[in-house]
Amino acid sequence: MMNDRMKLSKEQEAILNGSQGEVMAKVMETLVRYGELFGADGMVPITSQYNHLVTSFGLKALGPVYDLMEKLIHAGCASSQKFTADPRPMDKNVPSSFLQNIVFNHFMYSKQEYYEGQLEKLGLVEKDAFTCTCYMDEVGNTPKQGDILSWSESSAVVYANSVLGARCNRNSGIIDLMGSVVCYVPHFGLLTDDGRKARWIVEIRTAKKPEAQLLGSAIGMKVMEDVPYIVGLDRWLGTLDEGTKAYLKDFGAATASNGAVGLYHVEGITPEAIQQGRELLVEEPNVYIIDDAELKRVYDSYPVIWKKKEARPKLCFMGCPHMSLDQLTQWTEKIEQGLKEAGKERVAIPTVFTAAPAVLKKFEETPYASRLRKAGVVISYICPLMYMNNPLSASMPVITSSNKLRTYTSARYYTDEEILEQITKGGSAS
Ligand code: F3S
Tens of pLDDT along 28-51? 999 999 999 999 999 999 999 999
Same domain, 132 and 226: no
Same domain, 91 and 224: no
Q: For residue 244, what are the domain limits?
A: 194-300
Q: What is the pLDDT of residue 429?
A: 47
Q: Ligand 1 pocket: which of 54, 56, 155 to mutate (most atoms <8 Å of CB)? A: 155
Which domain CATH number covers 416?
3.30.499.10
Regions of the chain with pLDDT less than 70: 1-4, 78-80, 427-430
Same domain, 379 and 289: no
Which domain CATH number covers 36?
3.30.499
Give residues with Cβ within 8 angstroms of 34, minimum separation 6: 175, 186
**Looking at 151, 166, 189, which one is the last position of a domain?**
189
Residue 134: CB within 6 Å of ligand 1? no
Structure confidence by residue, pLDDT tens digits, 175-188: 998 998 999 999 99
15 lies in a domain?
yes
Are the C-beta atoms of 183 and 80 separated by less than 8 Å? yes
Same domain, 198 and 172: no
3-state DSSP helix/strand/coil percent for the chain, to nearest 5? 45, 15, 40
**Looking at 189, 216, 244, which one is the last position of a domain?**
189
Quote the number of domains for the chain: 3
Same domain, 177 and 65: yes
Residue 32: CB within 6 Å of ligand 1? no
Structure confidence by residue, pLDDT tens digits, 370-406: 999 999 999 999 999 999 999 999 999 999 999 999 9
Residue 384: CB within 6 Å of ligand 1? yes
Cα–Cα dist 148/29, whole Å: 20
240 CA distance to ligand 1 centroid (A)?
23
Same domain, 115 and 256: no
Same domain, 31 and 169: yes
Q: Give the side-chain half-sphere CA count within 13 A for 274.
A: 13
230 lies in a domain?
yes
Closest residue CA from atom 7 of ligand 1 = 385
Same domain, 24 and 135: yes
Q: Ligand 1 pocket: which of 57, 94, 404, 408 to mutate (most atoms <8 Å of CB)? A: 404
Same domain, 242 and 322: no
Q: What is the pLDDT of residue 180?
A: 87
Same domain, 278 and 320: no
Residue 79: CB within 6 Å of ligand 1? no
Q: What is the pLDDT of residue 430?
A: 46
Cα–Cα dist 51/53, whole Å: 7
132 CA distance to ligand 1 centroid (A)?
6
